[in-house]
Structure 1
């Protein structure tokens, strides 16, 4: 598994609806991307969650924009007149992450957008429960409608366990009660069948391959582990054990959907 590595050549505009100030940039392949910056508030861990969440979604066959690594050079900050953005660019020099820009896409509107079918909705709810993604709510759906299809974006709020590694293995069986707020839960009527269908798609070496592409420099500020490899193994162990415990978070989602919790 490999991601392309590109260089940002032009800063176009910030997306100020995102708290971390992602931006539309042009890259050296002449295409546009939405760039996520390692110098933003949650630092490299948000990029790890974005990368892992996006590639797990892809492995599950869910529609996500192409992810690429994006090099940011120091000169770009010197050309930016906005002090806030200039500081962000300075702090993000080096390797960042970006998603292919879906030109003309509209934010998914629960009240107006086409309703997803049960298979797709169940798969998205299952994945977000697995990843403990707290940010797919009616207030902030983190989904787009593009070319009449639903696309998933922004998985930076996933894997929140990695902000506190103490006792992280005990949290692999977290029921994830926040799933009750998921914007697609009411459409997710096939959760039990979805669990049986999706788990095998992450078996074998799939998770290991995804974790292996996390850039080593994104681990550099993590002090609890003695090496980047030890940090990788912790992510892999967590995701593997959480997958094994899927019946727990599926039960929680089913109960939440029926209104019993």
Structure 2
């Protein structure tokens, strides 16, 4: 399960994406980027962050450490920004935190080179979890201590927003044409040979098991928590062995709209403006 800490101070909001996360300090003396259950996209984005973050870590990709953060809504009383205050008040209880990487820089493909092997691992992983938000428009990659770090996995596993279609999602192709690492000749086949055998039922059950049960409730069809956890495992397990065969690397859509869903681009009516990290 996630290590749990308690928020002691809200430092500042991050305002560049769709969920308005913030930097907080906690009682373990750590500093975290906190994502809130009361944000417009709801707790399923936090579920995606945990499942994908844990899975990426277990596959050897760099992801900031994840924690559960208990939030007392009283912290929001002193916030001058009404939107931030409302978000904090709506997010009492358990939220998600990611270790803050001080001095990290947003990934710039013109300034930081990536090997085909590393690019292939990231693209393969994103294909596995169906990440639609690692494009040249919004890389969701950081460079810290000259290493590449993956952040923001809330826009993955889109099938969990519509469980009846989840089984079909296991065979869905992945268009990586707009992926920020596509110019680095990602060796997706080599990544699949290395990583796909590691994606076992046991590994996926451990990753999904780290998701707090309170974030998994309210599914249609009266699915109990065990069934919901099993559904995540089943889709990813079925997808892993052959997803590399369905990855497309074509010309990026630089002259057209983003292929990301509306709730990421701001066209979704419940989206919040803020940073997605």
How far off is 1:118 after superposition?
1.3
Please list, as runs of the form range in 1=range in 2, the aligned pairs for 1:1-261 lying within 5 A after superposition: 2-112=1-111, 114-177=112-175, 179-249=176-246, 252-253=247-248, 255-256=249-250
Please give the secondary structure, in 1, of the residue aligned with 2:133: coil
Structure 1: stretches of 5+ with no match in the other structure: none
* Segments of 4+ moved more than 6 angstroms: none
- CA RMSD, Structure 1 to Structure 2 (Å): 1.6
How many residues were matched structurally?
252
* Larger relative contact order (Cα-Cα within 8 Å, sequence gap ≥ 6): 2
The whole-number CA distance in structure 1 between the counterparts of 2:224 and 2:72 is 27
Q: 1:242 to 1:13 in 2, by over 3 A?
A: same
The whole-number CA distance in structure 2 between the counterparts of 1:47 and 1:97 is 7
Structure 2: stretches of 5+ with no match in the other structure: 252-277
**1:105-156 deviations in whole A, cap 9, x for unaligned?**
11011222x2111111100000001111011111110011111111111111
Q: Contact 1:3 / 1:67 at 8 angstroms: preserved in 2?
A: yes
Range with greater deviation from structure 2 (120-129 or 220-229) = 220-229
The whole-number CA distance in structure 2 between the counterparts of 1:3 and 1:226 is 23
Q: Contact 1:125 / 1:188 at 8 angstroms: preserved in 2?
A: no
Please give the secondary structure, in 1, of the residue aligned with 2:221: coil
The whole-number CA distance in structure 1 between the counterparts of 2:94 and 2:160 is 20
Q: Contact 2:71 / 2:91 at 8 angstroms: preserved in 1?
A: yes
The whole-number CA distance in structure 1 between the counterparts of 2:244 and 2:107 is 29
The whole-number CA distance in structure 2 between the counterparts of 1:164 and 1:248 is 24
TM-score (norm 2): 0.87
How far off is 1:187 after superposition?
1.5
TM-score (norm 1): 0.92
The whole-number CA distance in structure 1 between the counterparts of 2:123 and 2:60 is 14
